Every structure is written in C-alpha cells, then in structure tokens.
Chain A
Amino acid sequence: MRRPRTMAPIVASMVIVAAVSGMSAFAGDGTPVPHPPRGKGERCVADTGFMRKNHMKMLLHHRTEAVHLGVRTPQYDLNGCVSCHAVEGSDGKPVSFASDRHFCKSCHSYAAVSIDCFECHASRPEVQGKTAFVAPADREVAAIDRYLRDIRP
C-alpha cells in the first residue's frame, strides 16, 4: 500500500520534467513524438515524408559528389540544412549540436541514432539568418528518388 504513494511524486515530477523539456509533445494516442523546429525557408527541398526517409542517403551521395567531383548544389548541401533549420539560443546566436534544441539532435536523440556529421562539420551557420535555400524543381526530387532506387534496391 505504501509503494504507490511514494512513487506518485516521482512519477509526477517525471511528467513535469518531460513536459518542460523540448521532447514533451505527445501524439493523440499518448505516444511521445519529436517535434523538430521548423525551417525558415518557404519549403524544404522535398516533402517531409521523403526527407524523413531519405535525408541520410541524400547527404551521403551529395557528400561524395561534392568532395570528389566538385558538384556543389547548395540546396542539397549540409550547410543548407544547418542554415535553414538553425535554432536561436538564449544568447541570440544559433545553437550548436551540443544543445538538445538543435534541429538534428531533437530527432536523433529521440530515435537514439547517433551521428558523427558534426564532429567535423559546423553545426551552426557562420552568418546568422543567411540561408542558401533555393527551391528545387519537382523533377529534381523525382530524379533523386529514381537515383536512390537505382543504386540500392
């Protein structure tokens, strides 16, 4: 009989902590879901579902082409993502990957997928508010989709 009574404040405080932290949002059925901050641009380079599923593949292929062949397409550049999705911290500057509020981290810590991109890459834009976003044509996204399907079925 004593047990539930002693657990109650702990559970209550856990709920409060969860509610206060950034990962607090729950889906309709009570499942906690991440809510990564929205980008500043009008729209992303592809629709949300496509990006959720393919962003890692897109970054992987873009990196190879950019480093080895010098194909620089700013809209698919990691710097493009980082600039557009920059989250302002309490000091008015964009937060780095060390912060839980960082766009990439907000999802990756939820999914327990650790990434090492930011061991080398800058996790915040050099010039605040400057984005390299250029909305690509839909056929470009279709071409990426085709390419990703072709190379790895």
Chain B
Amino acid sequence: MSTEPQQALPDRRTMLRGLGGAFATLLAPGVTLYAFGANDAQAQASPKVRWALLIDLGKCPAGCDLCVTACREENGWQGNGRAETDAQWIRKVRLRDARTGQDREVPVMCQHCDKPACVDVCPTGASFKRPDGIVLVDKHICIGCRFCMMACPYKARSFVHEPVTDQKPWAPRGKGTVEGCTLCVHRLDAGRPPACVETCAAKGGGAMLFGDLNDPGSEIAKAVARHAPAQIRSDLGLEPAVRYRNL
C-alpha cells in the first residue's frame, strides 16, 4: 500500500479553463476585459477626458440656491430636516471680507481633485477616481469609516446616517455609506450636463461652465486659459477640477 499523500490535483477541464483565463490576460496587455461584450469605446469614462467646472461668482447672486435644489431633486438627498446629520452634496458658502466689506456666496461641492485626498486615505478602495477625473464612492465596497470625510479639505462628502427609501433609480444611496457630488455621472454617461449646470443656465445667472479641460477647443479650456480662474486651497496641491472666477 502506498503511503504517498493523495494530492488533490485539478482535473483536466479545470486546468484548461485556468489556462484560458491566463491567456486572455496575457494575450491582450492594456486591453480591459469586459463582462458584457462591451469594448473600450462603450466605456464612457475615457482617460482622454478631464471633466471640469468653471463657476463665475460675478454671475452667482447671493440668495440664489437653484444649483443646490436642482442637485437635491436630481439625486434625491432631501434629508430629514436634521441639518447636523443630513447629507449635503452641494452648498453655498458665504464669504465676507471684514476689511473691504466684500460679500459673496460660493457654491461648493466635491472639487473632483486630480490628486484626491479622499482616495489616498480610503482603506477599501471605495473612494476612487474614474479615468475621466470624476471622484466617486463605490458604495458597494464603502464600509462607512468616514476617513475620506476627514481627509477632504472641502467638506464635500456626507455620511448617510438614516435609512433611505425611494431613492432615485439613477442615484443609489443608503445608510452607512459616504456620498458626495458625482458630477451627475449618470447624466454625463448619457451625454447630458450635470443638473446644477443645466438649471443655472436655464433659470439662473448662467454662472457655471462645464466641459472637458483636455480639449483645447472647448469653451471651458479657453476660458481657463484666458482668465486663470482660482481654485480653492490651491496651496494644498490637490489640483481641483472646479475653478472660480471673481473669488
């Protein structure tokens, strides 16, 4: 009787299948395998694009909160009337210079940084940057630790404290996860601008300009080159994608 230990060898089929998988990744370096027969062209998040916003505060009157209400309605973060714990994806911050008396309101949301601090600190990889520069939370893997909220110098993210029902089908959100402005990624992927930009242009002062910074012919790229607009806390070197004129 043999005393040799019985080693569990994979059968022929399993071996071949494994080889097939190895080939698929070896044969096509740099090419992503898609589950649903899609290709790179169908992936809306293109690394060639850098989505950005330019907000002209000269056209953004105090007291107007059209962008905030548009975002709230589009993404369904109405809240429960508890300001301390309710989510807020975009808010208007009042700036007042005591010496000059200069007074203005600035819409502040996720700045979609090129070097996002929230992504650096995320322990699970839930906080991530899409190839086109949009910074998002993958709520499937978010554990709700809120490190990203502490790391973000813009206070752009919120934690969902209470159970949520009847979410918008295009904007899933639930208790125990962190969320923030998505630049209306569901609209972008369908070729439409973010809700705040659309509403500001239609009903407000048209203060928000949205576009692709990597396209030198785009309106936003031209405006950024011409006016050299400011970034909030640019000294931190996070390179936010949201820029402000007349700050």
What residues make up the interface of A, taking CB atoms closer than 8 Å to B?
Answer: 58, 61-65, 67-73, 76, 79, 82, 96, 119-122, 124-126, 139-140, 143-144, 147-151, 153
Contact = CB atoms under 8 A, between A and B. Distances in A.
Interface stretch (B62-70, B164-172, B217-225): B164-172
A71 B138 contact: no
A33 to B, nearest CB: 30
A73 B139 contact: no
Contacts of A65: 34-36, 38, 43
Interface string B31-47: 01111111000111100
A148 B138 CA distance: 22
A63 B172 CA distance: 12
A149 to B, nearest CB: 7
B170 A61 contact: no
Nearest to A66: B189
B185 interface: yes
B36, B132, B139, B167, most chain A CB atoms within 10 A: B36
B189 A70 contact: yes
B21 interface: yes
A150 B167 contact: no
Interface of B: 14, 17-18, 20-21, 24, 32-38, 42-45, 128, 130-132, 136, 138-140, 163-170, 172-177, 185, 188-190
Contacts of A148: 35
Contacts of A140: 36-37
Contacts of A120: 139, 164, 167, 172-174, 177
Given A65-B35, A68-B138, A150-B24, 16 more contacts: A61-B35, A65-B34, A67-B136, A69-B44, A70-B130, A70-B188, A71-B43, A73-B36, A79-B170, A120-B172, A121-B167, A143-B37, A144-B37, A147-B33, A147-B36, A147-B37
Q: Interface residues of A: mostly helix, strand, loop or mixed? A: helix
6 contacts: A65-B34, A70-B130, A73-B38, A126-B169, A148-B35, A150-B24
B36 A62 contact: yes
A153 B45 contact: no
A140 B132 CA distance: 27
Contacts of A70: 43-45, 130, 132, 185, 188-189
Contact of B21 (A63, A72, A153): A153
Contacts of A151: 21
Contacts of B165: 96
A65 B175 CA distance: 23
A77 to B, nearest CB: 9
Contacts of B20: 150
B35 A58 contact: yes
A71 B34 contact: yes
A61 B35 CA distance: 6
A67 B204 CA distance: 31
Contacts of A139: 37
Contact of B17 (A63, A71, A82, A153): A153
